[in-house]
Structures are given as structure tokens and as C-alpha cells.
Amino acid sequence: MILTVTLNTALDLTYHVPALRPHASHRVTDVRERPGGKGLNVARVLAALGHEVTATGFTGGATGRRVRELLSGTAGVADALVPVAGSTRRTIAVVDARTGDTTQLNEPGPLVAPAEWTAFQDAYGQLLADADAVALCGSLPPGVPVGAYAVLIRAARAAGVPVLLDTGGEPLRRGVAARPDIVKPNAEELAELTGSHEPLRATQDARRRGAQSVVASLGAEGLVAATPEGRWRATPPARVHGNPTGAGDSVCAGLLSGLVEHLPWPARLTRAAALSAATVLSPTAGEFDRAAYAELLPRISARREESAA
């Protein structure tokens, strides 16, 4: 079983409009809703790849009930979400049909009480007993300590469970120091962590700060990775246009599935890059276009990179 952690779950709403214009009313042509937050997106992709997944994190209020209702219809994903008194947030993606671009609006999340954070840690410790790997993903809701991911990483390491971390800012900095197996920042998060805007050099620096492997998602430029087996780059054959919501989460799913299947790093990276591009091409946030994935996978290769001095 792969365990995914989404401390700041969300109800993802995707609106499609003919053209998005500031200061104007818009007629929405299509509405989609999905259980969201980075870890739930990862869980959904992992399940679609055939893995058994358990999803945990916080959920509450009427929005949280809707998230759980939708999650119950996701084959292969078990619900182990922990209730809180506050209401789960919503995220809104507005897709412009004319340009293919997406505008994202993210609410902050509920205030988590100290007792609720303690209850989550107890539940997490029990779930680790059956986990083959764990993904810690996304922002922290108000009230959760900034060092929360470091705490959860240390608990997983003590249980002998490999950990992937995907977050940013101070939670990323503290989490890296706890020595996760894989860190998956985007280019902006990686630059903030290391002070370097050269991705290959920055991934190596992040490894020196404690992460065993670092995979940076660079949008249309694909992925760059620094691992114990070497440095790698995987790039899609062409730029894709669509809704990027969840593309980085699909990278995490590709990396985690490759880890538990004991794939070599080049195969993990090509899978992750193909899943990411196929997610951009999907009309619904946090899902991937299966036909596009099958078409892209054999066209992507991971090449070894020389060290950035």
C-alpha cells in the first residue's frame, strides 16, 4: 500500500469558459469537481496506475463531506482522512478555451487545533505499519506547525518507510533537513530553498542539505534530477497546452510508483514526465489523459547530465 498525506485537502472546481476577460461576466460552459489537494491528486493517479492507495490528511465541514463523497467513488483509493472542526477549502481553476490557459484561485484551508494535529499524528503512525511508501504533499493549513513535515518524515524513517516530500517554503527547508528519500520541488521552490536558479546545481545543493534524491519539475522543460545513481534530465518531445493543475502531482505519482516497483531512475523519470504532460492535456484537474500518456511514454527518454560545477 502507498500512503498519501494531504494536510490541506480541497474540493477542486474546474470551470471552462470560452474566453477569460478581466472585469467581465462569463458564461461557464462546463463544470467539474474532484477531491483535491496535492496528495489526493497523487493518490488518484497512483490508483489509475494499478497501485493500492490509502489517502489521509484533514477534512471538515460541508466541503469536506463532499470531498469524501467524491473520494468514495475513486476505485483503488481508501479513505483514512481525519476529521477537523473547520471547513475544507475549495480551489477554483478557470480554463480559457480560447488560449488553453488556466487561472487558479486557492483558499487557505481550515484552522487546525493542536488536539487535531495530535490525533492526526496518531492515525499516521498506525497507517505507516502497512505502507510501502508515503507521499507528503502540499501546503500546511493554518494551525499546523511549520515543521510538521519534518516530524512526519522522521516517523516514516523510524518505521522504515521511504518518503517523498512535495511542498515549498519553510516546510520544505525543514523537511529536507529530516532526510526524505525524494524531494520534488518546482523550479521556484527549489530556487527559494537553495538560492540557485540553475536547476541542476540547485538539485545537487538540495541533496547536500539532506534529501537522498531531488527531482525538480521545470514545466515545459520537463524534469531534472540529482540521485545517488547520477544526474538526469527528462524532457517531453514538444510543449503541451492545457490545464497544468495536478501536473506536478502526477510527477510524484510516477516517481512513487517507480520506487515501489524498483524501477531504475531513467524509467522513473520518463514515466513521471509522461504522466505530467498527459495531465496538462486532461480536461479535468488532477487527472491524466491515458491515450496521451501511452503515446508520450515511448517518446521520452532520460539522459545523463554532467555535473554543474
Convert 14-41 to b/e letters by CB count within 10 Å (16 or more is b): bbbbeebeeeeeeeeeeebebbbbbbbb
Grouping H, G, I as helix, E, B as strand and the rest as coil, residue 260 is helix
Beta strands in 175-259 (DSSP E): 182-183, 213-217, 223-227, 230-234
Q: Which helix (H) or strand (E) holds 279?
A: helix 265-280
Answer yes or no: are the C-beta atoms of 199 and 216 closer than 8 Å: yes
Q: Is 181 a catalytic residue?
A: no
Catalytic residue among 12, 166, 205, 249: 249
Q: DSSP assignment of 35-78, as one string?
A: EESHHHHHHHHHHHTT--EEEEEEE-HHHHHHHHHHHTTSTTEE
Q: Residue 24 is placed in which grid cell? A: 467581465
Answer yes or no: are the C-beta atoms of 10 and 91 closer than 8 Å: yes
What is the distance between the alpha carbons of residues 152 and 272, in angstroms, rounded to a whole number? 24
DSSP state of 307: -
What is the distance between the alpha carbons of residues 32 and 20, in angstroms, rounded to a whole number? 17
Nearest to 155 by CA among 182, 180, 119: 180
Answer yes or no: are the C-beta atoms of 45 and 253 closer than 8 Å: yes
Q: Residue 53 is placed in which grid cell? A: 492507495
Rg of the chain over CA atoms, in angstroms?
18
Active site residues: 249
